[in-house]
C-alpha cells in the first residue's frame, strides 16, 4: 500500500497514539481491491490496543483472507480524542488496511466480547454513516453483523444488527459469502432477499425475521419466526476438528504495545469442567484439544514469523490440556534457545505447575493464583467448583517451600444460596493459608511476610448457565458483603498478611441487566449513546447515572432484569438458541445446586449427557477409564 492515510498529518499529530490508525503493520493482509468480490470490515468495538489483543478476530481474519474473493480488513473504535475530531470534521470511519470508508464495504462484522462495549457499537455505526437500526438501513449499506461471546443473548442489541452469527466463526462464513456472491451475480440481491436466505444458514440469526410478544408482567410470551422457511431455533456452530482449523501463524504485529503484546497459541477450546456460574464453560462445549504436534508446529511458526519475545497459551483451563507436561517441556526448551519468555495462564497449583513456573518466572517476584470462587466447601459444591481446601493447602505448602510467598485468591460475592457465613469463610480460608506459611517456613528462611491478596467480583447470572435463573443483589447488598468480608479479614490473626480488593458494583448491575435483557433494551442503549455513553468499559468514561437515566426514560426496570429470580417455566429471551447443552441439563444443574445435591463430574471423568455429543467431536467421544 502507498502512504495514503485517511487522516491528515495534522490530525495524526493531534491525537494520542496515532499508530492506532495507520494500519500497515507487519503481516496485515494487502490485496488488490479490484481482485476481490467481497469486502469485509472486521470490528472490535474498543480501542486498538484492546481489539488487537483478541485472538478470535485474528483467526477469522486469517480464515477469510485465505479466500481469494474476500478481503477482510480491520477497524476499531476511535479513541474519544479522534472521535470528536471525526465528528467535527465529518471524517467517515475507515478501515486500517486500505484506509477506506466502512460504508463502502459489503459486510461490517462486530465482535461482542463484553456487555460494556454496547455503546461503542453505535459509535462505529454512527461514525461510519450507517443507520443505527437495521430497519433504517439502505440497499447500499453494508450488512451489519455481530458475533462473539455476548451473542448467546443477542436480544438487547438485536435491533442494531442485520444478522447475528451464533457460535464459532470457523464454519458458516463460506455459505454466507457464497450466497452473497451468487445473488450479486444473478441479480437477485436485495438486503431483504439476502437476509432471508442467510437465515437458513446454520448458526445465523436474522432478528428482523422474528416476532416477539410479551406477557403483561414483561416476560417473553412468544418468540416466533415470521415465515415458515425461517428456522425456529438457531443452533450454535462449532468446529469439531480444531487441529485442522485455520490458525494465524503469521499474526499481525502491532507497532504499538497492545494489551496482549505477545504471541498467542490457542491450545484447546472449551472446558471439561462445568462450574455452574461459568458461561464460557457451557457455551464452548464440547471441550476440544488441539493435537500436540500441531501445537509444536504452530508455536515455532509463530515465533519465526513474528519475533515476539513472549508467548502465552490460550485456553479456558490450561491445566486440563492432557499433554500439557510434554508440550511445556518442548516449549521451554524452544523458548530458552530464542530468549523468549513464556507467560503461563493460571495453572492449577500442584507439584507439576510449580516446577514449570519456577523455570519460567522469578519465584520471588511472582505469585501463585487460586480461583476457588467461593470461601466455603458448601458453596463451592453449589457452584460445582471442584477445588477443595486440601488442594489449596497442599498447593500453597509446596509453593511456600519452593520459595513463593505471594498468593492471589479470586472469589465471587453474591452467588446463589450464599450466606454471611460463606462470605466470612473467604478471609478465614485466606488466614489459614497465611498461617500455613508461618508454620511451614522457619523464620530465618522467610523473605518478609507472606502476602495473601483476596480479590472479589460480584456474581452476574449469565444465559446458558445453570444459574441463568438466579437473582442478583442490588449494589448496596453487594457492598455490604464486601464490607463484611473486609471487617472479618481485619479480625484475623494474620490480618497484616492479607489484603483485599473488590470490583465496582455499578458496572456489575449493568452487566446483569444486559446479560439477561430482551429487545426492549435497545431503546435504552440508543438513548444512553445519544446522551454521551461511550467506552463504558473504561472507568474514566463510564457513568452509572447516565445509564440510570436512560433506563428510566425507556422504562427499563433494573429489578426486573437483574435482581429477579426466574422460574424454570419462564420463557427466556435467549431460549431460541440451541448451544448444544440442553435446557433440561441446565435445569437439573440448577436444582441440584440449590437443593445442595452435590457436584457433577467433569467431562473427562464421566459424561453427564449435557447434549453436546451431538456435535460429534471433542471430549464426548473420548475413551474413559472404567472405574
Partner 1 sequence: MRVRLKFSKHGPIRFIGHLDTLRYFQKAIARAKVPVKYSEGFHPHQLLSFAMPLSVGVESDGEYLDMELLSSVSFDDEKRFLDGIIKDLNDTMDEGIKILSAKVVPEGKKNAMASVSAASYQVWYKNHKVEDPDEFSEKIMEIINSNEPIIVTKKTKKSEKEIDLKPHILTFSCGVSTFDETMELRFDYFMMLSAGSENNIKPQLLMDAIHKRLGMDPEEYPIVIRRNDLFMTDDEGAIVPLINDLSE
> Which one of ligand SF4, partner 1, none is in contact with 607 (Cβ closer than 5 to 8 A by kind)?
ligand SF4
> Which one of ligand SF4, partner 1, none is in contact with 281 (Cβ closer than 5 to 8 A by kind)?
ligand SF4
d(CA 472, CA 511): 11
- Is the Cβ of residue 5 or residue 183 nearer to partner 1 in the bound state? 5
> Which one of partner 1, ligand SF4, none is in contact with 316 (Cβ closer than 5 to 8 A by kind)?
ligand SF4
SS3 615: helix
149 binds ligand SF4 (CB under 6 A): no
> Helices (DSSP H) in 277-323: which residue ranges?
279-283, 292-306
590 to 133, 327, 418, 493, 572: CA distances (angstroms): 36, 37, 14, 37, 15
Shortest CB 274 distance to ligand SF4, Å: 6
Q: Which DSSP letter does residue 441 get?
A: S
SS3 509: helix
Distance of CA 517 to the CA centre of its chain: 18
Q: C-alpha grid cell for residue 558?
A: 433494573
- DSSP H or E segment with residue 331: helix 324-338
d(CA 277, CA 283): 12
Q: Taking CB positions, which residue lies at the least distance from ligand SF4?
A: 281
DSSP E strands in 291-347: the ranges are 310-314, 341-343
Shortest CB 627 distance to ligand SF4, Å: 16
Give the neighbor-by-neighbor strand order of the sheet with 310-314: 263-266, 310-314, 341-343
278 binds ligand SF4 (CB under 6 A): yes
Whether 29 and 72 have beta carbons less than 8 Å apart is answered as: yes
> Which one of ligand SF4, partner 1, none is in contact with 307 (Cβ closer than 5 to 8 A by kind)?
partner 1
- Is the Cβ of residue 302 or residue 515 nearer to partner 1 in the bound state? 302
**Contacts (CB under 6 A) with ligand SF4, residues 591-610:** 603, 607-610
273 binds ligand SF4 (CB under 6 A): yes
> Which one of ligand SF4, partner 1, none is in contact with 609 (Cβ closer than 5 to 8 A by kind)?
ligand SF4
Contacts of 390 (CB under 8 A, 6+ apart): none
Rule CB under 6 A: choose which of 348, 566, 613, 617 binds ligand SF4. Answer: 613
Q: Binders of ligand SF4: how many residues, by CB under 6 A?
A: 20
Q: Sort 491 into a burial class: Cβ within 10 Å, 0-12 / 13-18 / 19+.
A: exposed
Among the residue ranges 66-74, 177-185, 281-289, 547-555, the one whose residues contact ligand SF4 (CB under 6 A):
281-289
285 binds ligand SF4 (CB under 6 A): yes
Counting Cα atoms < 13 Å in the Cβ hemisphere of 98 gives 17
Binding mask 286-305 for ligand SF4 (x = CB under 6 A): x-------------------
Q: Which DSSP letter does residue 255 get?
A: S
- Is the Cβ of residue 172 or residue 283 nearer to ligand SF4 in the bound state? 283
SS3 200: coil
Q: Which chain residues interact with partner 1 by CB under 8 A?
A: 1, 3, 5, 9-10, 12-13, 18-19, 22-26, 253, 255-257, 303-309, 338-339, 341, 360-362
> Which one of ligand SF4, partner 1, none is in contact with 273 (Cβ closer than 5 to 8 A by kind)?
ligand SF4
- Is the Cβ of residue 196 or residue 503 nearer to ligand SF4 in the bound state? 503
Cα distance from N-terminal residue to C-terminal residue, the chain: 62
> Which one of partner 1, ligand SF4, none is in contact with 18 (Cβ closer than 5 to 8 A by kind)?
partner 1
- DSSP H or E segment with residue 87: helix 80-88
Q: Which DSSP letter does residue 115 get?
A: G
State the CB neighbour count (10 A cutoff) for residue 490.
Answer: 11
Shortest CB 568 distance to ligand SF4, Å: 20
> Which one of ligand SF4, partner 1, none is in contact with 25 (Cβ closer than 5 to 8 A by kind)?
partner 1
d(CA 460, CA 471): 9
Q: Which DSSP letter does residue 318 get?
A: G
- Is the Cβ of residue 72 or residue 347 nearer to ligand SF4 in the bound state? 347
> Which one of partner 1, ligand SF4, none is in contact with 13 (Cβ closer than 5 to 8 A by kind)?
partner 1
Shortest CB 76 distance to ligand SF4, Å: 27
Rule CB under 6 A: choose which of 111, 283, 317, 456 binds ligand SF4. Answer: 317
Instruction: Tell which residue, 70, 126, 59, has the closest CA to residue 97.
Output: 70
State the CB neighbour count (10 A cutoff) for residue 29.
Answer: 16
Shortest CB 51 distance to ligand SF4, Å: 23
Whether 56 and 148 have beta carbons less than 8 Å apart is answered as: yes
Instruction: Tell which residue, 259, 296, 264, 307, has the closest CA to residue 26.
Output: 307
- Is the Cβ of residue 295 or residue 610 nearer to ligand SF4 in the bound state? 610
Binding mask 233-272 for ligand SF4 (x = CB under 6 A): --------------------------------------x-
- Is the Cβ of residue 114 or residue 330 nearer to ligand SF4 in the bound state? 114
Whether 97 and 30 have beta carbons less than 8 Å apart is answered as: yes
> Which one of ligand SF4, partner 1, none is in contact with 24 (Cβ closer than 5 to 8 A by kind)?
partner 1
- Is the Cβ of residue 410 or residue 563 nearer to ligand SF4 in the bound state? 410
Binding site for ligand SF4 (CB under 6 A): 271, 273-275, 278, 280-281, 285-286, 316-317, 603, 607-610, 612-613, 619-620
Amino acid at each position: 500500500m502507498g502512504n495514503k492515510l485517511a487522516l491528515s498529518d495534522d490530525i495524526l499529530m493531534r491525537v494520542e497514539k496515532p499508530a492506532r490508525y495507520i494500519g500497515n503493520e507487519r503481516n496485515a493482509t494487502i490485496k488488490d481491491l479490484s481482485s476481490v468480490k467481497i469486502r469485509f470490515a472486521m470490528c472490535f468495538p474498543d480501542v486498538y490496543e484492546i481489539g488487537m489483543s483478541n485472538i478470535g478476530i485474528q483467526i477469522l481474519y486469517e480464515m477469510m483472507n485465505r479466500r481469494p474473493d474476500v478481503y477482510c480488513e480491520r477497524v476499531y473504535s476511535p479513541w474519544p480524542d479522534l472521535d470528536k475530531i471525526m465528528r467535527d470534521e465529518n471524517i467517515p470511519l475507515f478501515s486500517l488496511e486500505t484506509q477506506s470508508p466502512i460504508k463502502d464495504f459489503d459486510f461490517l462484522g462486530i465482535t461482542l466480547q463484553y456487555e460494556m462495549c454496547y455503546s461503542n457499537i453505535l459509535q462505529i455505526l454512527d461514525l461510519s454513516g450507517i443507520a443505527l437500526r437495521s430497519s433504517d438501513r439502505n440497499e447500499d449499506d453494508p450488512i451489519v453483523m455481530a458475533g462473539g461471546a455476548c451473542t448467546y443473548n443477542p436480544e438487547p442489541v438485536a435491533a442494531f444488527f442485520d444478522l447475528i452469527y451464533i457460535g464459532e466463526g470457523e464454519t458458516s462464513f463460506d455459505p454466507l459469502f457464497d450466497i452473497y456472491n451468487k445473488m450479486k451475480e444473478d441479480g437477485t440481491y436485495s438486503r431483504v432477499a439476502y437476509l432471508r436466505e442467510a437465515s437458513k444458514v446454520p448458526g445465523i440469526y436474522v432478528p428482523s425475521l422474528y416476532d416477539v410478544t410479551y406477557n403483561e408482567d414483561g416476560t417473553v410470551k412468544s418468540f416466533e419466526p415470521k415465515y415458515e422457511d425461517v428456522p425456529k431455533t438457531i443452533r450454535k456452530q462449532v468446529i469439531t476438528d480444531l487441529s485442522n482449523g485455520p490458525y494465524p501463524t503469521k499474526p499481525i504485529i502491532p507497532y504499538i504495545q497492545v494489551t496482549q503484546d505477545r504471541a498467542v497459541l490457542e491450545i484447546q477450546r472449551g472446558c471439561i469442567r462445568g462450574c455452574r456460574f461459568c458461561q464460557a464453560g457451557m457455551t464452548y462445549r464440547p471441550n476440544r484439544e488441539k493435537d500436540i504436534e500441531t501445537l509444536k508446529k504452530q508455536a515455532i511458526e509463530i515465533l519465526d514469523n513474528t519475533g515476539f519475545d513472549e508467548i502465552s497459551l490460550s485456553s479456558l483451563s490450561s491445566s486440563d490440556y492432557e499433554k500439557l507436561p510434554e508440550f511445556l517441556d518442548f516449549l521451554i526448551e524452544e523458548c530458552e534457545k530464542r530468549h523468549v519468555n513464556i507467560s503461563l495462564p493460571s495453572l492449577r497449583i500442584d507439584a507439576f505447575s510449580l516446577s514449570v513456573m519456577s523455570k519460567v518466572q522469578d519465584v520471588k517476584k511472582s505469585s501463585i493464583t487460586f480461583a476457588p470462587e467461593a470461601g466455603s466447601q458448601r458453596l463451592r459444591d453449589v457452584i460445582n467448583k471442584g477445588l477443595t481446601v486440601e488442594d489449596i493447602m497442599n498447593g500453597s505448602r509446596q509453593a511456600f517451600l519452593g520459595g513463593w510467598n505471594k498468593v492471589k485468591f479470586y472469589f465471587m460475592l453474591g452467588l446463589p444460596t450464599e450466606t454471611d457465613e460463606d462470605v466470612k469463610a473467604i478471609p478465614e480460608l485466606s488466614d489459614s493459608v497465611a498461617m500455613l506459611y508461618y508454620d511451614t517456613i522457619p523464620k530465618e528462611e522467610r523473605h518478609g511476610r507472606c502476602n495473601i491478596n483476596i480479590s472479589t467480583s460480584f456474581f452476574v447470572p449469565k444465559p446458558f448457565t445453570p444459574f441463568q435463573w438466579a437473582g442478583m443483589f442490588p449494589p448496596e447488598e453487594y457492598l455490604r458483603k464486601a464490607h463484611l468480608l473486609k471487617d472479618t479479614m481485619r479480625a484475623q490473626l494474620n490480618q497484616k498478611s492479607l489484603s483485599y480488593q473488590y470490583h465496582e458494583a455499578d458496572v456489575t448491575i449493568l452487566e446483569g441487566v444486559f446479560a439477561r435483557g430482551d429487545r426492549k433494551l435497545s431503546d435504552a442503549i440508543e438513548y444512553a449513546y445519544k446522551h454521551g455513553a461511550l467506552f463504558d468499559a473504561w472507568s474514566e468514561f463510564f457513568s452509572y447515572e447516565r445509564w440510570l437515566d436512560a433506563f428510566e426514560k425507556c422504562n427499563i426496570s433494573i429489578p426486573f432484569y437483574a435482581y429477579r429470580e426466574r422460574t424454570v417455566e419462564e420463557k427466556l429471551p435467549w431460549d431460541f438458541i440451541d448451544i448444544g447443552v440442553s435446557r433440561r441439563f441446565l435445569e437439573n444443574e440448577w436444582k441440584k445446586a440449590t437443593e445442595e445435591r452435590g457436584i457433577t463430574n467433569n467431562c473427562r471423568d464421566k459424561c453427564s449427557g449435557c447434549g453436546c455429543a451431538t456435535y460429534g467431536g471433542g471430549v464426548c467421544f473420548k475413551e474413559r477409564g472404567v472405574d
